Amino acid sequence: MNQYPLWKYLLVIAVVLIGGLYALPNIYGNDPAVQVSAKAGSAVDVSTEETVKSALLAAGIEYKELGIDGEQMIVRFKNTEDQLKANTIIREDLGRTYSVAQNIVPATPSWLRQFNPMYLGLDLRGGVHLLLEVDMEAAVTKAEDRYVEDIRSQLRDKRVRYLSVKRRDNSGVEVRFRSKAESDEGLKVIKREFPALAVTENEVEGKIFLSASMTDQQIREVKSFAIEQNLTTLRNRVNELGVAEPNISRQGEDRIVVQLPGIQDSTRMRELLSATATLEFRVVDTNRDANEAKQSGRIPVGDILLERRDGSPVLLKRRVILTGDYIVDATSGFDSNSNSPAVFISLDSKGARRMSEATKELVGQVMGVVFIENKVETKIVDGEKVKTRETIREVINTATIQERLSKRFQITGLDNSREARDLALLLRAGALAVPIEIVEERTVGPTMGQDNIDQGFRSVLAGFCLVLVFMVIYYRLFGLIANLALFMNLVLIVAVLSMLQATLTLPGIAGIVLTVGMAVDANVLIFERIREELSIGNTPQASIQAGYEKAFVTIADANVTTLIASLVLFVFGTGPIKGFAITLSIGILTSMFTAIVGTRAVVNLMYGGKKLQKLSI
């Protein structure tokens, strides 16, 4: 009686060993570090490593470890003071060809680094806090530019003659006509096709033109849509980066708050989050000399002049074959022929049709891939804030179209694999609807976080010790077994959080403290049931078996109802509430395993199959 089959003992041992292995990295904490990454045209190699070592040695700064991890170099330090000094020195020594940023990396020994510790939230670990301002003027301008193209297209389709369609400097769209009759025809078309626009007819110096402008309601909707679209894109980009438990939310009418726990490489975050990158595919004009056009300043009709990354000019046809709006997926890799970094593009069905139809007639011609990025920056001019907008266009790749292209193809011409990954991320997550500007940037240090961790650890330890003492005094040897299960419960909670790469926040610590108090409930029910069975004259073996079997239903009911409540908190809660619900749910599941299966295995090993006169309970 009271003996497990061998597979159950092996199951318990396997769970304990695997849980301990995943939980172990969490006891080592984190190291303050400086991260060095290569920018375009540079590389992190042995010479970079030697340069950094020499700079740190000359400055008298000690480091724990320095090594190259993939395409970046990590320098670990004993304290944040050395980290801050080293960050300044390395940045000055390497110059602008490298990106140097502070970071926090796990202090796990090298032999254990394949197992990652759990993430800590911004309130515990520190991280990056960014306040972004959405360029609302650009949103309105972009909407008006769309109206310009749409009105021009509709007038052309309806064969209405006009002189010009352009956006006015202040706001709205202006359409010029030669005569009153043409203006009347244009007015009918615009009112019929664009009923939401407010249209007025004007005449200045004998020239007749129509003024079309959006209503206040339309402008509000355009701005609201722009910020919501940017929120979605930013969330997609952060998700692609793998940041745990980010907080991305709207603040006011034109601002977005981004909080990224555990991230100190604010430079790369700033570049990736604020980039409005997209692509255009255009035909290269190989019949005309691009160098001559650049020197003379005379660009052939129907062409535009851009530059490659090396500064050489390229003439491209004005007609755009395809834009990045049709891209549904993008992955980075290497070209099978040249082994150079490449981005593999997948188009949606509409984009695939457009690409197929366009390239059918272009086989043998050269196609250029244009990288476009919009930037906005606020400068103080004469004491006033002035926004300056800049659009960067560069040709990253030109290649001869060998065959008719369709849904999948690749682009090359990138400097390194990191650039390929970043471009793939931006294309996959989508372009920002309008440019954003970082108006506030803070790197939240781990000092306050460490205080919170210490206080949380002390609260868990205090609750744990009080429960241990009570169980030993009240249930004796069985109390020690319950304490062992309670300890393993904490280990398994940490292990599961590490496996899931979940984020631990202060509310999460509260969930663990609550779990510590609740975890012994199952054992209390079992032990009290065993006492009752002994008091009515049952044998110790029968009492143990009855205690576990008869208390199981009550234990299951109590834990399932609590689990349902925690799931409701997770589904309907946000932020801190979700963190509390996650740790509570994990704690309920692990406590049921340790309290029922785990303690039963220990009790069976100690008492199973033996003739007993009494129990230490």
What is the overall mean pLDDT for the chain?
A: 81
User: Residue 586 in contact with residue 514, Cβ under 8 Å?
Assistant: no
Percent of the chain with pLDDT over 90: 5
CA distance 167 to 141: 8
**What is the per-residue pLDDT for 616?**
79
CA distance 167 to 180: 21
DSSP 247-309: EEEEETTTEEEEEEET---HHHHHHHHH---EEEEEEE-TTS-HHHHHHH--PPTTEEEEEBT
37: left (phi over 0), alpha (psi -120 to 50) or beta: beta
CA distances from 252 to 227, 249, 273, 354, 489 (A): 11, 10, 19, 40, 44
**What is the per-residue pLDDT for 450?**
63
Percent of the chain with pLDDT over 70: 87
User: Which two structure tokens, joined as six digits, stand for 39?
Assistant: 């920018």
**What is the per-residue pLDDT for 381?**
64
pLDDT in tens, 226-266: 888 788 878 877 765 655 557 788 888 888 888 877 665 66
What does DSSP assign to residue 116?
Answer: P
pLDDT at 79 over 80: yes
pLDDT at 322 over 60: yes
Q: Which domains does the chain have, with CATH numbers?
A: 6-24+449-607 (1.20.1640.10), 31-107 (3.30.70.260), 137-218 (3.30.70), 276-412 (3.30.1360.200)
pLDDT in tens, 468-499: 888 888 888 888 898 898 889 989 999 998 88
pLDDT in tens, 382-418: 666 666 667 778 887 787 877 777 788 777 766 677 6
pLDDT in tens, 428-447: 666 677 778 777 777 665 55
**What is the per-residue pLDDT for 492?**
93
